[in-house]
A and B are shown apart, each in its own frame.
Chain A
Amino acid sequence: AQKVTQAQTEISVVEKEDVTLDCVYETRDTTYYLFWYKQPPSGELVFLIRRNSFDEQNEISGRYSWNFQKSTSSFNFTITASQVVDSAVYFCALSGDKIIFGKGTRLHILP
């Protein structure tokens, strides 16, 4: 069975601090994709990244970075120098024949 665990339900940090959102997954598939999505208050999902199971390279995109470690089945997301606009719910997801979402982490960036 596939499973995505986001242990952090809610996080609050002060603006400009760095914050890491954790994601641990379970799957028996050898080929799969991992995703991160941002959901602002409007509700529309914003795609952030897709990572193939064969590609363990870390990725950096501006203030965002992702650390994929197959050995620990983790795909963590770090926001550097957080901003108030980063406040949202962030979902980690795993794709086999369908996408399974974690429960999400609600991130509050305090001014």
Chain B
Amino acid sequence: GAVVSQHPSWVICKSGTSVKIECRSLDFQATTMFWYRQFPKQSLMLMATSNEGSKATYEQGVEKDKFLINHASLTLSTLTVTSAHPEDSSFYICSAISRDRGYEQYFGPGTRLTVT
């Protein structure tokens, strides 16, 4: 099956700093990538949808200036949490779909962010 990786798998950063999370499709070219956020004991909430070479589409209530998404290539999307605060601590999961793979959605393993 297709593989989607995320890096780092976990990160601890200080309040006020920025942190970048990478999402890569390892064996296919992703038409679209999605970013989800999951608070402890809660469901996955879609944050944004990004298509290669175009601006991300953010869900209602998600601050686009705080959560910067760049989808520079068909295999890489990045999420940068800017000026992180403790309330940004969460589990961030990306997923990728490909036209060549029938638009099946493949999920990454997630990145656990802790802001101190």
Whether B109 contacts A91 by the Cβ 8 Å rule is no
Residues of A whose CB lies within 8 Å of any CB of B are 37, 42-45, 47, 50, 91, 95, 98-104, 106
Q: Judge whether A44 and B43 touch: CB under 8 Å.
A: no
Given known contacts A98-B34, A101-B43, what 20 new A-B pairs fall within 8 Å (CB)? A37-B107, A42-B109, A43-B38, A43-B91, A43-B93, A43-B109, A43-B110, A44-B107, A44-B109, A44-B110, A45-B93, A47-B107, A91-B44, A99-B34, A99-B46, A99-B105, A101-B44, A101-B45, A102-B43, A103-B42
Residues from chain A with Cβ under 8 Å of B43 in the complex:
91, 101-104
Residues of B within 8 A of A (CB): 34, 38, 41-46, 49, 91, 93, 95, 104-105, 107, 109-110, 112
* B44–A43 touching, CB < 8 Å: no
14 residue pairs bridging A and B, Cβ less than 8 Å apart: A42-B109, A43-B93, A43-B109, A45-B107, A50-B104, A95-B105, A98-B46, A99-B46, A100-B46, A101-B43, A101-B45, A102-B43, A104-B42, A104-B43
Q: Is the CB of A43 within 8 A of B112?
A: yes
Assembled-state Cα–Cα distance A95/B91 (Å):
21
How many residue pairs link A and B with beta carbons under 8 A? The number is 37
Which chain B residues lie closer than 8 Å to A42 at the CB level?
109
* Nearest opposing residue in chain A for B1, CB measure: A47
* Residues of chain B within 8 A of A50, CB atoms compared: 104
- Give the complex CA separation of A69 and B81 in angstroms: 41
Residue of B nearest to A104 (CB): B43
CA distance A45 to B44 in the complex (A): 10
Alpha-carbon gap, A95 to B107, bound state (A):
14
Give complex CA distance A106, B41 in Å: 9
C-alpha spacing A47/B105, complex, angstroms: 10
**In the complex, what distance in Å separates the CA atom of A43 from the CA atom of B95?**
14
Cα of A3 to Cα of B23 in the assembled complex, Å: 27
